[in-house]
A and B are shown apart, each in its own frame.
Chain A
Amino acid sequence: MPAAPEKILELKSQAKLTRRKIVEIIYRAKSSHVGSALSAADIITSLYFGGVMRVDPHHPKKEGRDKLVLSKGHAVSAVYATLGFFGFFPIEKLEEYGRDGTKLASHVVLDVLPGLETSNGSGGHGLPLGAGMALAAKQKGEDSRIFVLSGDGEMEEGSVWEALLFAGHHQLSNLTLIIDRNYLQDGMSGLRTNQILDIDPLDEKLRAFRWEVESVNGHDFDELISALENKSDKPRAIIANTLKGKGVSFMENRGEWHGKCPDAEQYEVAIKELS
């Protein structure tokens, strides 16, 4: 069922807030991966604010909760901002990001903030973790769902394909893989993923591994939420077609924003666009 227009407006407004927070904390920390976080911001907004994931920010370890494994751990700023706005912790906590002596790394680390379920940062680790969580939930008789958010460059890792094979074989129907498909990986080469190591036809490959596959516009909340809420007796893969750097005009679809940090002038422009 399509989301109500007011809900969509609310999600758009939330995603903008999240994007602004991403840019703020990355700029202040002189950190990187702003493009990757902006790419995934609508997906992560859909999971939490779109009502897809059953989580309780006041009881972050509640048994039977749904879980997000951020396999593209370098996009953690998007998760930090979302969890903060969602009430897992005061959003002011993120002012620590990038300061010496804090635990807020530029990759996701288990339990350093409430709501962070794993440590990830090296590509190809998230899907096996998610498969293990999905197995455990099934054995415990829980109906919790496990969402793994992966980059598309990361799909080149062999461990991902081992896990795809495993989840398909074990029919882990409570496991959903979301692929943030922005076609950009190594920022400086100027090449797109299909020029570096082509993973296409990705949908056909995933289906051959016994996954149900759906492709959506990764910036359209209606499409995202509907795809994320769909269930199947197989594991599900959602290929979310996205733009790296989405929301900031000069970052959009530009590979260099994988690793670059905006300078003062760029920061002002970005914040203005996100206001």
Chain B
Amino acid sequence: MRFEAVRAIYENGLKNNSLWFINGDLGHMKTEEFRRDFGARYINGGMSEQNIIGVSAGLALSGMQVVAYSIVPFITLRCIEQIKIDICDQNLNVIVLGVGGGFAYGSAGATHYSIEELAMLRALPNMKIVCPADPPETYSLMKQVLELGGPAYVRIGRGKEPNLPVQIPAALGKASVLREGGDITIVSQGTIVSEALRAAEILSAEGLEVEVANMHTLKPIDREFLLDRAGKRRGIFTLEEHSVIGGLGSAVAEVLMDSDNRPKKFHSFGVDDFWPETVGSQQYLRDVCNISAEKVAGSISRILAA
């Protein structure tokens, strides 16, 4: 996903002399091309995220568009006040690109996990938030975000995530229905959409008709889609690789609870306000946090039976 995001930036920057790419000391496979073709507009700012965000804002105040890029916790929480004041309060054309959403850096521990940043960034006025699910969607949404402009945050996986089995063209701000089904809807985003699709398969084998929606745009969220489904389904479920506090589940609940069309059953699957005590692969950690396909399918069955 990193490659696709960077390719989108590179292509735009060839045509647009005001696009800058500031990298917080993180490789991306196209370093030589950026050096050659972006010149001064490509900077490795080193390990200084507060400065990188401030410099990005200063460039944007001078009419530039900037993508600031590093590993999620470093380029978001480390410099959250700079994102709040310098970018969002001044409403500037800066796109924060975070690599390694959720447990993508599974063996690295809590320093490298990102299961909190969406809650904080979602609370910032003017901020748009996008979490693509696979490489083609990363390329497409990155292009759309560059077109729309910042303030924006794009959260991607770490490396060579597989393409989803279903490919639907993504439109910023609109949920993509990846699988049809009339009984329940699972709303998901990011690379864990693949688990939502597998959970749907498991539940389908048990006779349940499961719709899976990819809510790649967390903010502004597709209210129309949610309100439409709420009255039509036996249950609405959300699945995210993030804390259950403040992310997709919260955003969906905010929309549904504020409507007359509340679903009969609702549950938000995410990390339940803890850091795993053990480390391991992304798949292992999803299982530990009860957000793997098997765990989610089991929980949904129990909730619907209750």
Contacts and interface: CB of A to CB of B under 8 A. Distances in A.
Contacts, number: 90
Interface string A121-163: 1101101111111111111100000000000000000110011
B53 A128 contact: yes
Interface string A233-256: 000000000000000000000000
B62 A132 contact: yes
A86 interface: no
B90 interface: yes
Contact of B90 (A118, A159, A163): A118
Interface string A104-121: 000000100000011111
B247 to A, nearest CB: 26
A120, A125, A132, A166 interface centre (most CB from chain B within 10 Å): A132
B110 interface: no
A119 B45 contact: no
A110 B82 contact: no
B54 A131 contact: yes
A240 B51 CA distance: 24
Contacts of B51: 128, 131, 159, 162-163, 165-166
A78 to B, nearest CB: 21
Nearest to A158: B50
A166 B57 contact: no
Interface string B36-55: 00001101011010111111
B60 interface: yes
A186 B178 CA distance: 57
B85 interface: yes
B54 A136 contact: no
> By CB atoms of chain B within 10 A, which of A121, A158, A162, A165 has the most?
A162
Nearest to B58: A132
B21 to A, nearest CB: 13
B254 interface: no
B161 interface: no
B81 A127 contact: no
B272 interface: no
Given A122-B81, A127-B54, A166-B51, A135 B59 contact: yes
Interface in B29-83: 40-41, 43, 45-46, 48, 50-64, 81-82
Contact of B54 (A117, A121, A129, A138): A129
B40 A128 contact: no
Nearest to B48: A162
Contacts of B134: none
A166 B45 contact: yes
Given A119-B85, A125-B86, A128-B86, A162 B61 contact: no
Contacts of A158: 50
Contacts of B62: 132-133, 136-137, 140
Contacts of A124: 50
Contacts of A130: 58
A162 B90 CA distance: 21
A119 B58 contact: no
Interface of B: 40-41, 43, 45-46, 48, 50-64, 81-82, 85-86, 89-90
Interchain residue pairs A-B with the least CB separation, the first 3: A132-B58, A128-B54, A136-B62
27 contacts: A110-B90, A117-B61, A119-B86, A122-B81, A125-B54, A128-B51, A128-B53, A128-B55, A128-B86, A129-B54, A129-B55, A129-B61, A129-B86, A130-B58, A132-B55, A132-B56, A132-B61, A133-B61, A135-B43, A136-B63, A136-B64, A137-B62, A162-B50, A162-B51, A165-B51, A166-B48, A166-B55
